[in-house]
Each structure stands twice: as C-alpha cells, then as structure tokens.
Amino acid sequence: MSDRLPPLTALRAFEAAARHMSFAMAAEELNVTPAALSFQIKSLEEHLGQPLFLRLNRAVKLTEAGRALAPGTSEGFQSLTAAWRAARRLQDTNTLNVTAGPAFTAKWLAPQLYEFARAHPEVDLRFSATLRIMDFDRDEVDVAIRFGYGPDPGLFSMPLRNEWITPVMTPELAAQFPTPESLRHAPLMFDDSIDFLDPPCDWPTWFRAVGMDFTPTHGPHFSQADHAVDAALAGAGIVLGRRAMVVKDIHEGRLVAPYKRALETKAHFRFLCRKGAETRPQIAAFRAWMLAEIEKTAAVHETLEIIPVEEVPPV
C-alpha cells in the first residue's frame, strides 16, 4: 500500500465533514457547494480504497476507516493553522497580545499601562486576563506573565523581581497595631490564592519568622489576591500582601508595611514568550518597560528585611 498522501483539499473536506457530521455544514464552512465537497470526499475514498462515511437518509456516519482518520486530520489541520499564524505573526511588529492573571492585571499592569502606551503609540496592545494555560501558537499569545515555579520548557523565561509577602494595612490601622504582637487582636484577612505555595507563606509562617507562635483562625478569606488587597485598602483589615500586588500602593502611601520582616517565596513571576521571539521589537519594548517599571518601586524593598521562607523555623 502506498503512503502517498491525497490532495490537501480532499483531506480538508473530510476533516470539516467529520467534525460537523454534515456535508452541508462542512460545505458552508469551506465556502463550496455540497456537490463539490461530496466530490472531494469521494476522491479521498477512492484514494484510500474504502468508504469513510456511511451515507444515511438525512445524515452521515463515519465508517471504521473514517473514525481512524478523523483524529489525525483534525490535529493536523490545527497544527497547520497554528504554524501559519505563528509565521504570519513574525511579520507583525505592531500588535502585542499579552496574557496575565486577573489579580496581577488589576493591581500592577492595568494601573500603569498608559505609560507603555504613551511611550509606544505604534504598538496595538491586546490583553487577556486569565490563569488558563495558554498555547503561544494556538491562542495567538505573544507574552504571558505567570506566577509559579516553572520550569518553562521550550520558552524564553525571564524571572521578574523576587516575590515576597508581608503584612500590609492602611496607615490608620498601622497606628492601632504598632507591633507584630498587637496583631493577636487585629482584624486579619486571608489571601487563599497563595495556599499553593510550598513552603507555605501564610500567617503562621510569618508569625514564626518574627518569633511568635500564633495561628489565627478567624477572618475573611479571599480567593483572589486583588480582592484581598482592595479590602485592605478600604481599611477592612490586615492581609499578607504579595510584592506585585501591593508594592505600588506601598510606594504611593495608600498601604504601609510597618513590621519590616518579609518572607521571600520560592515562586516568582516570569516573563514568558516563544523562544527567539524575545527580540521582536514590540516584545523587547514591553519587556524593557516592565523591568523599568519594577525598578521604580525598588525603594520599597530597601525598607524591608527579606528572608527566604525556607529559613523560617518549622512548626
């Protein structure tokens, strides 16, 4: 039996018909007549030497050969489409598709994007705030900002500034609770989005880092970091704030970190893109802008004693 592949147009007609289970719908998608699509599939069946569809009265059904062929053709055309989009994007120096988590977008990216837009009016920015795992080819993403441990095989991965946590609150609450010991009686809040960190970076760990044995059990829990920070900004309580989520508010005085002890997490934010794409003009410009913006709040780090979380004594 020959391994010579049939014409691509015939395979495309089969893939669409198998996906829709309808010759009419496949013909409409491919902008051909049902008769032309049926001719392409018939030629494919002749090339194979056996039928791919059972033609029923008002429907079609895949034969055993059709069921064997359908998954591979579907995956193949998806790969071809992704490769074509990736090659086409290399010619586009004006559009920049960026994805980041909703909390990071709300607390860090969105408030200062105007600076990048003003410096680079030629770049058409498009943002997707999601934690969904993205495929850089299929999803037409240029840059992803992700928090975690990695590794990031096959990608250009640049760690951003190390991440830490420390209690943050309004200046008014800081005046009421001037020491770590006073937090035993304070309205503490919980950011559950950091529960995945290992070693843990939670309230009991932070209290051990300042020499206290205290496990708070009461207080509101937030599944999103930006919601927890917004509650702290409103004066509702005190939360362990992650650097990226609170550094701008600390820098501008809306929040304070009065106790100076911060825990450095092993997880960090990474700037991700396809390997080799980091030199594309709009991606390189965005990366340089992010690094410059991070450095604007570097003074906040200098006010803190930051220790790696793994150095905190265990329970």
Cα gap 276→278, rounded to integer Å: 6
pLDDT-derived band of residue 92, with 50, 70 and 90 as boundaries? low
Supply the pLDDT for residue 250. 97
Average pLDDT over residues 132-138: 78
Specify the 3-state DSSP secondary structure of 194.
helix
Q: What are phi and psi of 92, to 5 degrees?
A: -95, 105
Cα 270 to Cα 152: distance, rounded to the nearest angstrom:
9
Q: Can you say whether the dihedral through the CA atoms of 152, 105, 81, 55 is positive or negative?
A: positive
Distance CA 242, CA 81 (A): 39
Across 216-228, average pLDDT: 95
What is the distance between the alpha carbons of residues 222 and 253, in angstroms, rounded to a whole number?
A: 23
Distance of CA 201 to the CA centre of its chain: 21
Q: Is the dihedral of CA 99, 105, 109, 111 positive or negative?
A: positive
Amino acid at 85: R
- Name the pTM for this structure: 0.72
pLDDT confidence of residue 93: 67
Helix axes 225-233, 243-251, angle to 10 degrees: 20
* Dihedral pair phi/psi, residue 178, rounded to 5°: -80, -15
Q: pLDDT per residue over 21-55, tens digit each? A: 999 999 999 999 999 999 999 999 999 999 999 99
The confidence band for 2, taking pLDDT boundaries of 50, 70 and 90, is low
Band of residue 221 on the pLDDT scale cut at 50, 70, 90 = very high
Average pLDDT for 82-86: 73
Using an 8 Å Cβ cutoff, are 278 and 284 in contact? yes
| pLDDT computed for residue 157 by the predictor | 95
Q: What is the pLDDT of residue 5?
A: 85
Report how far residue 163's alpha carbon sits from residue 266's, in angstroms, rounded to the nearest whole number: 8
pLDDT > 70 fraction of the chain, expressed in percent and rounded: 97
Position 94 scores a pLDDT of: 82
Averaged pLDDT, 115-133: 89
pLDDT of residue 178: 96
Task: Give dist(CA 186, CA 168) in Å, integer.
Answer: 12
Alpha helices in the chain (DSSP H): 8-20, 23-30, 34-48, 64-89, 102-104, 110-119, 171-176, 203-209, 225-233, 243-251, 281-296, 298-302
Instruction: Indicate the length of the chain as a whole number.
Output: 315
- Residue 265 contacts residue 161 (beta carbons within 8 Å): no
- Asked whether the predicted pLDDT for residue 1 surpasses 60, the reply is no
Q: Answer whether residue 236 shows pLDDT above 90.
A: yes
CA distance 7 to 47: 10
Round to whole Å and give the CA distance between 230 and 152. Answer: 31
**What local confidence, expressed as pLDDT, does residue 78 receive?**
84
Segment 153-210, tens digit of pLDDT: 889 999 998 999 999 999 999 999 999 999 999 999 999 999 999 999 999 999 999 9
> 3-state class of 265 per DSSP?
strand
Residue with tokens 């001037």, as numbered in its chain: 178
Whether the link from the prior residue into 178 is cis, omega within 30° of 0, is no
Query: What one-letter code names the amino acid at 107?
Result: K
